[in-house]
A and B are shown apart, each in its own frame.
Chain A
Amino acid sequence: ALRAEAHRSPYSTDEPPNSLDQITRFNNFYEFGPDKEDPVRHAGALTTDPWAVVIDGLVERPGRYDLADVLSGRVLEERIYRLRCVEGWSMVIPWIGFELRGLLARVGVQPSARYVAFETLLRPEEMPAQRTGLLDWPYREGLRLDEAMHPLTLLATGLYGETLPNQNGAPLRLVVPWKYGFKSIKSIVRITLTEELPVTTWNRMDPSEYGFYANVNPEVDHPRWSQASERRIGGGFFAPRIPTEMFNGYGEEVGTLYAGMDLRVNY
């Protein structure tokens, strides 16, 4: 249904996408458990309708927006993006979504805003791992305003031309293809424009391992995983490792955002 409305985008990679089966059975969505198969097993119980997103902080028109309201007037596009996980694997995913900057423009960003904070739904009765101490709940992420306003930055509502499956972050998730996957927060219920650097979950839990920026960078090692190369999911037992690209291959588009910054310090 979504595909009919979705436009093709020059931002899409022409690499072959992973199958729907791979994309929907192999997820990090810790609200449903730590294993890759936990989300597909447990996310069916998540209620995504009704859904509302609170947009607040330094915006002209703060409020609690119904999902239909968030989506009204948005132009849906198909964006085939590479996804690189901090754990060293990667996929290619045909998202359906719209640019975050359009939504931000609609609610009006105040001049003093410098960051955008995001929050995932907190609903332990439907998200079993939220009843445990696996992470500090609710999951939080954030972007610098210029990152949020970048045309590559997407709010996704679909996958392979269909509505986004729950385990992939339904009904609304962020996609920031040049950053490690954990930045692309799922099942968003709050978007807050702030002046201060927002608190983000992984950064707070383990600041030496997870920086605020989390840009894909083969030269900056993660303390636990080398980021020099990655395994593309779907290649079977003998698939060769492929070298990881700076900014996950989106350096031409986003490199200027970080001009003059020491990416070893701002990892």
Chain B
Amino acid sequence: MAIEGVNRGLRRVPVAVVWVAGLVPLLLLGLQAALDGLGVDPVKALERQLGKLALQFLVLGLLITPLRRLAGLDLLRFRRAIGLLAAGYAFLHLLVWLGLDMQFQVGQILRDIARRPYLVAGVISLVLLVPLAVTSTDRAMRRMGPLKWRRLHLLVYPAALLGAFHYMLLVKGRPPEPLIYAMVIVVLLVLRILRVWVRRPSRA
């Protein structure tokens, strides 16, 4: 009953609210950068924060279906904005790495990607997000049809897993944070697999 009320309330919330809220961290980062508030190594701080935001929005996007199935909470309307915010932060993260961190030194960038598993994981994760962002429009959805579109968008799982893996591989020692992202994403993936497995008999 209560959840019905929440869902009714949510239907009155425009999607723009999610966009605005999702861009607040970017605005804060911009302000911090301008006001010298990103610490001693602002380039790395910016790079890390953008990467983390991308992961956080990916996790948020992945939460929407299980929240609907397990709690009846309907946030589906906001998922496109959340997904595009994730892709946008991932892209900015890449840009900061290429431009500010690596100073567009193409030779070293390519050698690095070829040799370092954490970069391979990060790059593949980003590449997987591109078709998802491109097919996020209503038109693309209609053109592809719901089945094909949904299948393509399952790519968000490997993208999120690779993103978390990228984070795990790049830290030194055994800090807990990257592991937490990876575990949350694995749990969401398992939920998804279990759901498919449970539903299959009823489809036949």
The answer to whether the Cβ of B39 comes within 8 Å of any Cβ in the partner chain is: yes
Collect the chain A residues with CB atoms within 8 Å of residue B115's CB.
Answer: 221, 223, 226
* Inter-subunit contact A241/B102 (CB<8 Å): yes
Which A residue sits closest to B46, measured CB to CB?
A237
Q: Report the bound CA distance from A213 to B40 in whole Å.
A: 28
Residues of A12-43 contacting chain B, CB below 8 A: 21-22, 25-26, 30, 34, 36-37
* Inter-subunit contact A36/B40 (CB<8 Å): yes
Q: Report the bound CA distance from A226 to B113 in whole Å.
A: 10
Q: Report the bound CA distance from A74 to B33 in whole Å.
A: 44
Residues of B24-79 contacting chain A, CB below 8 A: 33, 39-44
Collect the chain B residues with CB atoms within 8 Å of residue A238's CB.
Answer: 100
* Inter-subunit contact A241/B169 (CB<8 Å): no
B interface, over-half SS: helix
* Inter-subunit contact A226/B174 (CB<8 Å): no
Which of A104-112, A116-124, A131-139 binds B?
A: A131-139
The size class of the interface chain B forms with chain A is 20 to 34
The answer to whether the Cβ of B4 comes within 8 Å of any Cβ in the partner chain is: no
Which of B9-17, B87-95, B103-111, B150-158 binds A?
A: B103-111
Shortest distance between the CB of B37 and any CB in chain A (Å): 12
Contact pick for B39, options A34, A37, A224, CB 8 Å: A37
* Inter-subunit contact B174/A133 (CB<8 Å): yes
* Inter-subunit contact A233/B105 (CB<8 Å): no
Collect the chain A residues with CB atoms within 8 Å of residue B169's CB.
Answer: 224
Shortest distance between the CB of A160 and any CB in chain B (Å): 15
* Inter-subunit contact A135/B40 (CB<8 Å): no
Q: Report the bound CA distance from A65 to B135 in whole Å.
A: 69
Which B residue sits closest to A235, measured CB to CB?
B43
Which B residue sits closest to A223, measured CB to CB?
B116
Interface 1/0 per residue, A135-175 and B, CB below 8 Å: 10000000000000000000000000000000000000000
The answer to whether the Cβ of B146 comes within 8 Å of any Cβ in the partner chain is: no
Collect the chain B residues with CB atoms within 8 Å of residue A221's CB.
Answer: 115
User: Could you pull out 25 A-B pairs where Cβ atoms are within 8 angstroms?
Assistant: A22-B40, A26-B41, A30-B173, A34-B171, A34-B173, A36-B39, A36-B41, A37-B39, A87-B172, A89-B41, A89-B44, A132-B176, A134-B175, A223-B117, A224-B116, A224-B118, A224-B169, A225-B116, A226-B108, A226-B116, A233-B40, A233-B41, A234-B40, A238-B100, A241-B102
